[in-house]
Every structure is written in structure tokens, then in C-alpha cells.
Amino acid sequence: MPAGFWIPWECGLTKKREILLIARQLGVAPREAAACCMEVWEWAQSQSVDGVVAGLTAQDVSGATGIPGAGEAMLIAGWILESEGGIQFPNWERFNARSAKARLMAAERKRRERDSVTRMSRMERDENATCHAHKRTRD
């Protein structure tokens, strides 16, 4: 799967301070606020490679994503920064840059490999224990 077709959901996202601020601003539950942010980040990913979207404002983000107030709420929470030149998504490279996604995918692949080895080792251990136990009872 190409790196640009997904966005990581961080564990504990719905409990982050910023999400709680956004939820309060939008008048929604934290889960809904987190989903709104994911939609905004999805839109931003289609507009930017470095987290900067020239010429737009937080209000434009709300209009572009169809989520009234989302851009403004993310601005208040510090997850969107505005300047005369446009908007910026802070810490973009942590989750949305291709290198970050490659790193996250590699870590997940390694985790699966370790899990697979652990499962196989347990199965082999169980088989060996069963074989040895069977031999001992026959003696």
C-alpha cells in the first residue's frame, strides 16, 4: 500500500488535551472531534507535502472539509497555525511525511514478525514438551 493512502491513528488520541479542546469548541464528543481531525488531516494530506497550505485560513479548512468550525477549533488547540502566507499543520513530519509512514510501517512489520516467531516458538516448545513427556511415560 503506498504511503500516502493512510493516516495513523495514535493510541489515546481521544484523550489528548487538544482533542478535548476541539470537542468543547465543536460541541461534540471527543471521539467525534478525533474523527473530525482525521478528516481534516486527510484533506491536508491531499493539499500538501510538507504541512503548509498556502493562501488558506482555518476557516477555509472548515469549508473545504465540510465540518463547520473544525479548522477554527484546531487553530485554538494549536493543531493549525495561521500566518499571512496560509496555514501550517505543526508536527506534520511526525505522522504524515512519507518517511514517517515508512518508519511506522517498518515498525508494524517487525512487530508482526516478532509475534510470529514467538507463536512458532511456543508451538515448538509445546510439541517438544509433549514428545518428551510421551517418551517418558512409555519408558
pLDDT value for 1: 38
Residue 113 corresponds to which cell in the numbers above? Answer: 514478525
**DSSP letter, residue 79:** S
Query: Quick one: which of 103, 108, 101, 104 has its CA closest to 3?
Result: 101
Is the predicted pLDDT of residue 3 greater than 50, yes or no? no
Residues 6+ apart with CB under 8 A from 94: 100
Supply the mean pLDDT for the chain.
81
- 43 neighbors 80 (Cβ within 8 angstroms): no
- List the beta strands (DSSP E) in 22-120: 52-54, 81-83, 86-88
* pLDDT per residue as tens digits for the range 14-41: 999 999 999 999 999 999 999 999 999 9
Q: What is the pTM of this model?
A: 0.65
* pLDDT per residue as tens digits for the range 48-82: 888 899 999 999 999 998 999 999 999 999 999 99
